[in-house]
Amino acid sequence: MSILVDERTTLVVQGITGNEGTFHTLRNREYGTNVVAGVTPGKGGQDVQGIPVFDTVARAVAETGADTSMIFVPPRFAAEAILEAADAGVGLVVCITEGIPVRDMANVHSYLEASKTRLVGPNCPGVISPGAANVGIIPGEICTPGAVGLVSRSGTLVYQIVHELTQRGIGQSTCVGMGGDPIHGIGFVEALKLFQADAATELIVLTGEIGGDDEERAAAFIAEEATKPVVGYIAGFEAPPGKRMGHAGAIVTGSSGTAAAKAEALEAVGAAVARNPTQVADLVAERLG
Amino acid sequence: MDLYEHMGKDLFRAHGMQTPRGIVVFSSADAASATDELGGRSVIKIQVQVGGRGKGGGVELCDTPEAAAAAADRMLRSDFKGFPVTRVLVEELLPIAREFYTSLLLDRARGDYLAMMTAEGGVDIEELARTRPEAIRRVHIDPMLGLRAYHVRELIGTLPVEAWEGAADALRKMYELLVERDATLVEVNPLVLLEDDRVVALDAKVTIDDNALWRHPDIAELAEQFPIDEVEARAKEKGLQYVKLDGDVGIIGNGAGLVMSTLDVVAQAGARAANFLDVGGGASADQMATSLEVVLSDPAVKVVLVNIFGGITRCDLVAQGILEALERIEARVPIVVRLDGTNAEDGRRILADAAHPNIVPAANMLEAAEEAADLAGANL
């Protein structure tokens, strides 16, 4: 078991014919992901190493039954690509693209709230359920199947922490790179809910960083609903304080957004918080026994 | 991108909002003549990309052109919160009856826009938010629906009736600006009611989404007016994120999270970062070489720590880049290198084969940080 993606996932890749799209599609397929289709407007009828390409996601879904989409299209067109996937009835959209205007994402967010489609990203490394499916750019070879669910805002910290876990012989149920953009799909709270409900996940690792208040909201959720142990890590204790223009941001969150405040919030609800990535593996090992 | 107040006010005027008459000047002499032109009295305001000017001595009321010259001289001679000051805004003084606060911004947590307004304007708005949050009217706006008439009625509710029409008009224009110009923040503190019942934006804090600047070439162009560190400018040109700090370890990593984590681990090892540079995803050998040049150009750097976990980034290219850089420039300090992830074996072998005397390989992140801290200490 795992969350979001597994061996039953049928994947369509939007932007499959671009350099990165092709490269990572083939890496995902090699890992064992069932890649059934690709979409590039104007290239319908072609194929990428046997994967049929369609002009629209609706066509790809109608012909192949794809239930998950991975997006590699350029930032100017990526929000449109998410809407297209949602409109075609795809259940999960994983958007790797970095640099999407936030106003476009605000519109997407509003639309998705009324749809059944879940979004991971944008500006994220994707989702991997080790041994079952890899949808995104997380290097499959650093993961190993097991009982730790991991969710992270930062991409490279997913790699670092998964690597530390795997080296200690600790496997993962699913690793989710939720992305660091201001408006994103699945966040800590939703990932925690999914991991909490997933029979294969025994412990949850949450990797945050300075800014925003995602970690504080995760702490509130942990206090109320999480029964599985949570190990946290926050990056940015030494990061220089950002300059602030107006007062509006502080009025909204009421949070300082510092690493120390986030670590405190998590510790206050019983989560163990590591001070460096190596210590994450130590704390996980202690708790898994 | 955070705009200077006068740039924000240019956008306000373009969208039909009322602002005081103002003139941007770069010298104290021009501040005096601008004050003269505005009727002999003025307010002088520092133009910087940071808030807190009112409390920090960045705003001064001047009753004569001479006083304006003196205020401008003082402001142009010093930094403000570490930001260089190259210009001030000289504005007319207006007969103010009441001061309000209003803002529109992106609400990250909810993924929509949030509008706020209160009759209790002024610099202590954050204190008000803490002590009497109910005094601030807040309305969430679905971006698909936009700002509706009932939103506006709710927002202006705490204001005196004579300000309603002007405040409603300002809100509608601020929202129009927010959407049409891809702003993530439009804040007016204070929005004022004049004695003749006009409502005027006395301040402007506008932040434009960097990811959307391609839609607004006129705004993107404004970036050239912001003073920028030479080294930072060079890094930016190559798509690298460089930040100067005050320790002695130069840090290069890929991805903001890993870079921040590296700063933390170096601090835990007892050293401090001189600077840090994020090479981003998919770094090429050339980018890596430039990164090393940029970080080494900082004379405070006593040791460099390269911490790469390759996903899209290939460690063999990183290793080649390091060697290329060492051919182009003379390395005066040791370079601790930690490579993991995609093609890490190849990368490590390339560095081992080169056997460059300045390169110190490290097996993992903690070891790399400790090694760098030791070397920084030894080089003191």
Task: Find out whether A58 and A87 touch, Cβ atoms under 8 Å.
Answer: yes
Residue of chain B minimizing CA distance to A255: B130
Of B227, B249, B267, the position where a domain reaches its end is B227
**Span B353-371, average pLDDT:** 94
Give CA–CA dist B40/A22, Å, rounded: 67
The single-letter DSSP state of residue B80 is: B
Residues B50 and B148 in one domain: no
Task: Find out whether A116 and A140 touch, Cβ atoms under 8 Å.
Answer: no
Residues B210 and B293 in one domain: no
**Span B257-262, average pLDDT:** 93
Task: Find out whether A63 and A54 touch, Cβ atoms under 8 Å.
Answer: yes
Residues B243 and B357 in one domain: yes
Record: fold of A10-120: Rossmann fold (3.40.50)
> At B96, which helix (H) or strand (E)?
strand B96-107
Confidence of residue A49 (pLDDT cuts 50, 70, 90): very high
Give CA–CA dist B176/B16, Å, rounded: 10
> At B193, which helix (H) or strand (E)?
strand B183-194
**Span A241-258, average pLDDT:** 69
Alpha carbon distances (Å) from A261 to A41, A208, A229, B124: 46, 12, 20, 23
Residues of B tagged active-site: 101, 187
Alpha carbon distances (Å) from A41 to A12, A58, A106, B370: 14, 12, 24, 51
Residues B284 and B335 in one domain: yes
pLDDT at residue B158, as a whole number: 95
Q: Is B144 helix (H, G, I), strand (E, B) or coil?
A: coil
Give CA–CA dist B142/B111, Å, rounded: 9
Task: Find out whether B311 and A139 touch, Cβ atoms under 8 Å.
Answer: yes
Tokens of A280: 């994450």
Residue B69 sits at the vertex; the CA angle it makes with B68 and B71, to the nearest 5 degrees, is 65
Task: Find out whether A268 and A219 touch, Cβ atoms under 8 Å.
Answer: yes
Does residue B379 register a pLDDT over 60?
Answer: no
Average pLDDT over chain B, rounded to whole?
A: 93
The single-letter DSSP state of residue B2 is: B
Q: Sign of torsion, CA A168 A174 A178 A179?
A: positive
Residue of chain A minimizing CA distance to B49: A245
Residues B199 and B348 in one domain: no
pLDDT at residue A222, as a whole number: 97
**Amino acid letter, residue B37:** E
Task: Find out whether A59 and A32 touch, Cβ atoms under 8 Å.
Answer: no
pLDDT at residue A158, as a whole number: 93
Does residue B81 register a pLDDT over 90?
Answer: no
Backbone angles phi, psi at B379, to 5 degrees: -90, 0
Pick left, alpha or beta for residue B195 (phi over 0 → left; psi -120 to 50 → alpha; otherwise beta).
alpha
Of B197, B227, B257, the position where a domain reaches its end is B227
Give CA–CA dist B380/B376, Å, rounded: 6
Domain harbouring B15, CATH code: 3.30.470.20
> At B241, which helix (H) or strand (E)?
strand B241-244
> At A129, which helix (H) or strand (E)?
strand A126-129
Residues B9 and B115 in one domain: yes
The tens digit of pLDDT for each residue in B125-146 reads 888 888 999 999 999 999 999 9
Residues B144 and B5 in one domain: yes
**CB neighbourhood size of B113 (10 A):** 24
Task: Find out whether A82 and A70 touch, Cβ atoms under 8 Å.
Answer: no
pLDDT at residue A255, as a whole number: 65
Does residue B60 register a pLDDT over 80?
Answer: yes
Whether this model's pTM surpasses 0.90: yes
Domain harbouring B352, CATH code: 3.40.50.261
pLDDT at residue B231, as a whole number: 80
Give CA–CA dist B239/B13, Å, rounded: 33
Q: Is B19 helix (H, G, I), strand (E, B) or coil?
A: coil
Instruction: Determine whether the interchain pair B111/A75 forms a contact, defined as Cβ–Cβ distance below 8 Å.
Output: no
Cross-chain CB nearest to B341 (options A102, A159, A253)? A159
Q: Which CATH architecture has domain A126-288?
A: 3-Layer(aba) Sandwich (3.40)
> At A53, which helix (H) or strand (E)?
strand A51-54
Establish if A152 touches chain B: CB-CB under 8 angstroms.
Answer: yes
Does residue A251 register a pLDDT over 80?
Answer: no
Q: What is the DSSP string of B247-275?
A: SSEEEEESSHHHHHHHHHHHHHTT--EEE
The tens digit of pLDDT for each residue in B15-33 reads 999 999 999 999 999 999 9
Query: Which residue in A245, A255, A256 has the most chain B C-beta atoms within 10 A of its own C-beta, making it the best mutation to test that interface?
Result: A245
**Amino acid letter, residue B302:** K
Instruction: Determine whether the interchain pair B261/A235 forms a contact, defined as Cβ–Cβ distance below 8 Å.
Output: yes
> At A37, which helix (H) or strand (E)?
strand A34-39
pLDDT at residue A254, as a whole number: 61
Share of chain B above pLDDT 90, in %: 75
pLDDT at residue A243, as a whole number: 61
Beta strand pairing status for B273-278 and B241-244?
antiparallel
Establish if A237 touches chain B: CB-CB under 8 angstroms.
Answer: yes
Token look-up 């803002």 returns B103
Tokens of A2: 């795992």
Contacts of B267 in chain A (CB under 8 A): 237-238
Task: Find out whether A203 and A165 touch, Cβ atoms under 8 Å.
Answer: no
The tens digit of pLDDT for each residue in A161-191 reads 999 999 999 999 999 999 988 899 999 999 9
Average pLDDT over chain A, rounded to whole?
A: 94
Tokens of B22: 């103002």
Task: Find out whether B372 and B336 touch, Cβ atoms under 8 Å.
Answer: yes
Confidence of residue B280 (pLDDT cuts 50, 70, 90): confident
pLDDT at residue B228, as a whole number: 79
Give CA–CA dist B278/B257, Å, rounded: 10
Instruction: Determine whether the interchain pair A107/B144 forms a contact, defined as Cβ–Cβ distance below 8 Å.
Output: yes
Residues B28 and B150 in one domain: no
Residues B212 and B332 in one domain: no
Task: Find out whether B231 and A127 touch, Cβ atoms under 8 Å.
Answer: no
Establish if A84 touches chain B: CB-CB under 8 angstroms.
Answer: no
In this structure, of A163-177, B73-87, B277-291, B331-345, the range with the lowest mean pLDDT score is B277-291
The minimum CA-CA distance between B66 and chain A, rounded to whole Å, is 30
Establish if A215 touches chain B: CB-CB under 8 angstroms.
Answer: no
Task: Find out whether B306 and B338 touch, Cβ atoms under 8 Å.
Answer: yes
Contacts of B258 in chain A (CB under 8 A): 154, 156-157, 159-160, 235
The minimum CA-CA distance between B342 and chain A, rounded to whole Å, is 7
Q: Is A73 helix (H, G, I), strand (E, B) or coil?
A: coil
**Span B285-304, average pLDDT:** 90
Residues B4 and B153 in one domain: yes
Of B202, B227, B252, the position where a domain reaches its end is B227
Q: What count of Cα atoms within 13 Å lies in the side-chain half-sphere of residue A114?
A: 8
Tokens of A236: 């940015």
Look at chain B and report how many structural domains it folds into: 3
**Span A121-130, average pLDDT:** 96
Give CA–CA dist B54/B35, Å, rounded: 20
pLDDT at residue B123, as a whole number: 61
In this structure, of A14-23, A131-140, A141-150, A251-260, the range with the lowest mean pLDDT score is A251-260
Residues B57 and B144 in one domain: no
Confidence of residue B200 (pLDDT cuts 50, 70, 90): very high
Q: Is-catalytic flag, A163? A: no
Does residue B378 register a pLDDT over 70?
Answer: no
**Amino acid letter, residue A20:** E
The tens digit of pLDDT for each residue in A211-249 reads 888 899 999 999 999 999 999 999 999 887 766 666 777
Domain boundaries, position B33: 21-93
Domain harbouring B80, CATH code: 3.30.1490.20
Residues B13 and B32 in one domain: no
Contacts of B268 in chain A (CB under 8 A): 275-276
**Span B258-283, average pLDDT:** 90
**Would you give the distance in Å from CA A115 to the centre of its chain?**
19
Instruction: Determine whether the interchain pair A278/B142 forms a contact, defined as Cβ–Cβ distance below 8 Å.
Output: no
**Span B264-269, average pLDDT:** 95
